[in-house]
Amino acid sequence: MERWATLEVLLLPRPNDDPIWPNLLNLPGKMFRTIDFKRIDNTPMNGPFERIQSGELNVKFTKEPEFAGIAFQKTDRGPIVALVYLGTLPEDANLSDEFVWCDVDKLKKLKNLLQTEMSAIQIALKKFILQ
C-alpha cells in the first residue's frame, strides 16, 4: 500500500445566498438532474461528473472516478442518498482560491464544515485506505 504524508479532501463553499447552508464547506458535486437520465450515452452518472469537472472545479479528473459506496444523510433539506466516488485531480490543478484542501485528521475542527458530509468522507476514506 502506498503511504502518504497528508491525506486531504477538497471542500467547496456553498454560495453565500444559500437559504440553508450559506458559506458552509461541502464536497463537490451531489445531485442528479432530470436531464442526466435523458443522455444520449444512457449513462446518468456522466452528467454530474461532467458538471463537476466543467462547471464546479474547471479541472478534468486524471482518471475515471471510482465508486466507494453509499452514504445515507439526514439533512436540513431532507434525507439524501449519496453515491460516493473517489476522484483524482492533477497535482498542478489551478483551483479557485475559495476551495479548501483539508487534512482529513483536521476535519472535525472545521467550524464551517457541513457536518452531514462526514458520512460520505468516511466512506471515501475507507475505500481509499483499502485500495
CATH number of the domain where residue 70 is located = 3.90.79.10
How many angstroms separate the CA atoms of 121 and 84, rounded? 8
Number of Cβ atoms within 10 Å of the Cβ of 18: 12
Q: Is the pLDDT of residue 3 over 60?
A: no
As beta bridge partners, residue 75 has: 78
Q: Which three cell numbers stand for residue 50?
A: 461532467
DSSP, collapsed to helix, strand or coil, labels residue 103 as strand
Give residue-wise pLDDT tens across range 39-63. Answer: 999 999 999 999 999 999 999 999 9
Quick check: is 39 in a domain?
A: yes
Q: What is the DSSP letter of 126?
A: H
User: What rounded mean pLDDT belongs to the chain?
Assistant: 92
Quick check: is 24 in a domain?
A: yes
Quick check: is 88 in a domain?
A: yes
Quick check: is 3 in a domain?
A: no
How many angstroms separate the CA atoms of 91 and 86, rounded? 15
Domain count, the chain: 1
Q: Is the pLDDT of residue 6 over 70?
A: yes
How many angstroms separate the CA atoms of 104 and 42, rounded? 35
| Among 90, 113, 21, 55, residue whose Cα is nearest residue 121 | 113
Q: Is the pLDDT of residue 1 over 70?
A: no
Quick check: is 2 in a domain?
A: no
User: What would the DSSP string read from start to end of 50-95?
Assistant: HHIIIIII-S--SS--EEEEEEEEEETTEEEEEEEEE----TT---
Quick check: is 21 in a domain?
A: yes
Quick check: is 1 in a domain?
A: no
Quick check: is 34 in a domain?
A: yes
Give residue-wise pLDDT tens across range 69-97. Answer: 999 999 988 999 999 999 999 989 999 99
Domain of 33? 8-130
